[in-house]
Amino acid sequence: MLTFFPTPYEDELWYGIITRYHIRSGNTCWKYTIQELFPEIKGYPRLGDTMPNTSMQIIAAQLPENVLSLRDCALRHSLFPFRMRFQPLEKKREYLQEFLDGENMQPKFLFTTKRNGAEMPLRSCPQCAVEDVKQYGEPYWHTEHQIASLPLCPKHLCRLVPLPRQNTMSIGQQLILPPKNLPDAVFAATETEYSLTEALHYMYTLPYETSPNLLSENLSTTIENAGFLEDGNILRQSWDVQRLYTALTERFGTDIVVRCFGKHITKAHARRLRRYEIYSTEEYAILAVLLDIPPLAFFSGVALPLELDMKMRELACQGQVYTKARAAQLLGIREDQLLPYAKRFGIRPFWVQSGKPCADDKRQSYSVEIRLSAQEKEELDAYMAAHNMDVYGHALRYFMQKNIGDWKNNHTNERSFNNEN
């Protein structure tokens, strides 16, 4: 049994708690501390991990009951809630329960977190370190600061400082606290870095139980709104992964994109992202910043609007007659895309074909001559310009349909009134 163990600080990384034990133990070498805490382990435990591991279970077993909560270790002193953010709630609960039951979850964590399982340099905030010394008498490692893609401290918005590597030993074999004399805080940052910090912090601070809304199409909607769909099958809505990857690297730089997404985004990867089957929280935070949507959109049941759908419905409801070319121009799409999009959105075509009539058009052609005064011609031209009409025949058809429709409705109402009386 252990005679003492440090009380964890708020958001303190598990590695930091072990380090504070090492300092308070008076041991002159980290090896003595490892032997003291883990006498039955051959080799070295993975103390540098940011995910729950067997070292937590071993130490908790050596302390009196209720002194150290394994659940708190996993949820408050590791990146488990953050890394598991996009896992289904049932799977998260299953992983947590298996860990609480004593199972070694490291292989599963490495599998589900992919590239995020690699050891990264520990980082600290100069401003937090000053505040920690004032409050606790020493700085400590904050768990949130260890999110590899987090560029700034969410509290102070200054750059995080990585711990310099002085040798080839792993972090878990060095057991050191953040230095008290960190360099001055650097506050210069880009808008992208501010936005990414905000998105990552939001996902980090969500309740552990929060998982993505699997019925949500918000990611697909914003991908389409941003113009990252392929020009092929409109109904399939395939992502243009090459253009998307290029946009990501231009916005965030190659290093962070390669580390999170890999050297390219495959079609299969894109499909899994769309279905929330990629469990890298950082990928979704980066996409949220690129697409300029709140991270809440991934978890909310409120659907974001599809801009083209709204614009097409708005045009269709105006009661105006457009040529196919003009309708496509106003919507920002090609002429050949008009009908497929209308079918997809369930909108009846509101444009007319220019040139020859369609093969299945059963209507007869008639010539109509209308004599107009100069003033009438000027007023007609002004009306057509105001309503985006560019063909006199289309204007005539619009007036006919509107007035004949009104006449039919009035005539029907008069007949109904007469029959009732």
- The rounded mean pLDDT for the chain is 87
Q: For position 358, what pLDDT does the model report? A: 44
Within-domain flag for 256: yes
Q: Report which of residues 117 and 186 the model is more confident about.
A: 186
* Residues 81, 167 share a domain: yes
- Could you tell me the residue range of the domain that residue 358 belongs to? 313-420
Q: Determine how many CB atoms are found less than 10 A away from the CB of residue 203.
A: 23
Question: In the structure, what pLDDT confidence band is assigned to residue 214 with cuts at 50, 70 and 90?
Answer: confident
| 195, part of any domain | no
Query: Within a domain: residue 244?
Result: yes
Report CA Rg, the chain.
Answer: 32
Domain-embedded: residue 91: yes
Q: Percentage of the chain with pLDDT > 90?
A: 62
Residues 227 and 132 in one domain: no
From 173, 194, 226, the end of a domain falls on: 173
Q: Are residues 277 and 334 in the same domain?
A: no
Alpha helix segments (H runs only) across 206-334? 218-225, 241-252, 254-261, 267-274, 281-291, 307-316, 324-331
Report if residue 202 sits inside a domain. no
Contact between residue 123 and residue 144 where contact means Cβ atoms under 8 Å apart: no
Lowest-confidence segment of 82-86, 203-207, 325-329 by average pLDDT: 325-329
Same domain for 160 and 240, yes or no, is no
Do 319 and 291 lie in a common domain?
Answer: no
Q: Is residue 4 situated within a structural domain?
A: no
Q: Do both 318 and 253 map to the same domain?
A: no
Looking at 242, 263, 298, which one is the last position of a domain?
Answer: 298
Q: Does the residue 366 lie in any domain?
A: yes
CB 123 within 8 A of CB 155: no
Alpha-carbon distance of 111 to 75, in angstroms, equals 19
Whether 156 and 38 share a structural domain: yes
Q: In 62-105, where does DSSP find H-type helix?
A: 70-76, 80-83, 89-100
d(CA 396, CA 406): 15
Co-location of 71 and 128 in the same domain: yes
Q: Which of 150-154, 211-215, 369-373 has the lowest mean pLDDT?
A: 369-373
**Residue labelled with tokens 């000027």:** 378
In the DSSP assignment, the letter for residue 172 is G
In a domain, 134, yes or no: yes
Query: What's the number of domains the chain is made of?
Result: 3
Task: Give 117's pLDDT tier (boundaries 50, 70, 90).
Answer: very low
**Are 57 and 156 contained in the same domain?**
yes
Answer yes or no: do 45 and 164 share one domain: yes
The model's pTM is 0.81
Q: Are residues 281 and 317 in the same domain?
A: no
Residues 18 and 156 in one domain: yes
* pLDDT band at 1; cut points 50, 70, 90: confident
